[in-house]
């Protein structure tokens, strides 16, 4: 199996063959052959990916509801200061319907 991309080509059959050859050689000799480097897979995570992961964790820790905004809206409703413009509400409802 080959995986081809714009930046690299990976031949999985070759990787498996190298692993099998290494395992067979080790089994025959009982230990790692002197002077032969055993290939291994390695993954490195970039600093940008680490930063993104950190930010995602911070966003996940934030509450879904902004209680300060809820309290302000509740206070405005109780005082009668909360007004809704009917035409703006109708337009937003139409926009939401169109996007479905």
Q: What pLDDT digit, counting tens, does each position of 46-95 carry?
A: 999 999 999 999 999 988 888 999 999 999 999 989 888 999 999 999 99
Q: Are residues 62 and 75 in the same domain?
A: yes
Which structural domain, as residue segments, surrounds residue 66?
A: 44-100
Cα gap 8→2, rounded to integer Å = 11
What is the total count of domains within the chain? 2
Q: Are residues 96 and 68 in the same domain?
A: yes
Q: Are residues 57 and 38 in the same domain?
A: no
Q: Are residues 27 and 64 in the same domain?
A: no
Which pLDDT score is estimated for 44? Answer: 86
Q: Are residues 27 and 56 in the same domain?
A: no
Cα gap 5→33, rounded to integer Å = 34
Q: Are residues 57 and 35 in the same domain?
A: no
How many alpha carbons lie under 13 Å from residue 10 in its C-beta half-sphere? 7
DSSP code of 11?
E
- DSSP letter for each residue of 16-75: HHHHHHHHHHHHHHSSPPTT-PPP-------HHHHHHHHHHHHHHHS-SS-HHHHHHHHH
Cut 0.85: pTM above it: no
């Amino acid at each position: 199996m080959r995986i081809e991309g714009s930046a690299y080509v990976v031949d999985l059959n070759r990787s498996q063959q190298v692993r099998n050859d290494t395992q067979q050689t080790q089994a025959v000799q009982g230990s790692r052959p002197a002077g032969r480097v055993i290939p291994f897979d390695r993954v490195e995570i970039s600093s940008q990916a680490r930063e993104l992961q950190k930010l995602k964790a911070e966003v996940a820790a934030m509450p879904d509801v902004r209680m300060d905004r809820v309290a302000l809206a509740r206070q405005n409703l109780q005082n009668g200061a909360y007004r809704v413009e009917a035409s703006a509400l109708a337009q937003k409802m139409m926009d939401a319907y169109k996007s479905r």
